[in-house]
Amino acid sequence: MLPVPYFHVVFTVPDKLNPLFIADTAGMYSLLFRSVWETMNQFFITRLSAEGGMIAVLHTWGQNLSLHPHIHCIVPSGGIDWKGQWKSVSVSENGKVFLFPVKALSRVFRGKLSSRLHQAYPLHIDRIKAAWEKDWVVYTKEPFAGPESVVEYLGRYTHKIAISNHRLLNIDDQGVTFRWRDYRDNHQKIMTLDGIEFLRRFSQHIMPRRFVRIRYYGMLSSTRKASFRDLQISMGIAPSVSNKKKTGKPWKEICRQHLHYDPDQCPKCQTGKMVMIERFLPGRGPPAVQNRSHQSISK
Q: Round to whole Å and give the CA distance between 118 and 27.
A: 13
- The answer to whether residue 260 scores a pLDDT higher than 70 is yes
What is the pLDDT confidence band of residue 14, given thresholds at 50, 70 and 90?
very high
In the predicted model, what is the mean pLDDT of residues 110-126? 95
- Residue 205 is which amino acid? H
What is the pLDDT confidence band of residue 293, given thresholds at 50, 70 and 90?
very low
Q: For 94-114, what is each residue's pLDDT tens digit?
A: 656 688 899 999 999 999 999
Task: State the Rg of the chain over Cα.
Answer: 24
Q: Edge to edge, what strands does the sheet with 67-76 contain? A: 138-141, 6-12, 67-76, 53-61, 214-218
pLDDT of residue 284: 64
Q: For 63-76, what is each residue's pLDDT tens digit?
A: 999 999 999 999 99
Question: At what angle are helices 125-132 and 102-120 packed, to 10 degrees?
Answer: 170
What is the pLDDT confidence band of residue 298, given thresholds at 50, 70 and 90?
very low
Q: What angle do CA 219, 8, 83 make, to 5 degrees?
A: 25
What is the pLDDT confidence band of residue 224, given thresholds at 50, 70 and 90?
confident
Q: Lowest-confidence range among 73-77, 140-144, 268-272?
A: 140-144
What is the pLDDT confidence band of residue 246, given thresholds at 50, 70 and 90?
low
Contact present, 6 and 150 (Cβ < 8 Å)? yes
What is the pLDDT confidence band of residue 199, given thresholds at 50, 70 and 90?
very high
β-strands 78-80, 187-193: how paired? unpaired
Global pTM?
Answer: 0.77
Residues 6+ apart with CB under 8 A from 160: none
- The answer to whether residue 30 scores a pLDDT higher than 90 is yes
Q: Round to whole Å and give the CA distance between 160 and 176.
A: 19
% of the chain residues with pLDDT over 90? 53
% of the chain residues with pLDDT over 70? 89
Total residues belonging to the chain: 299
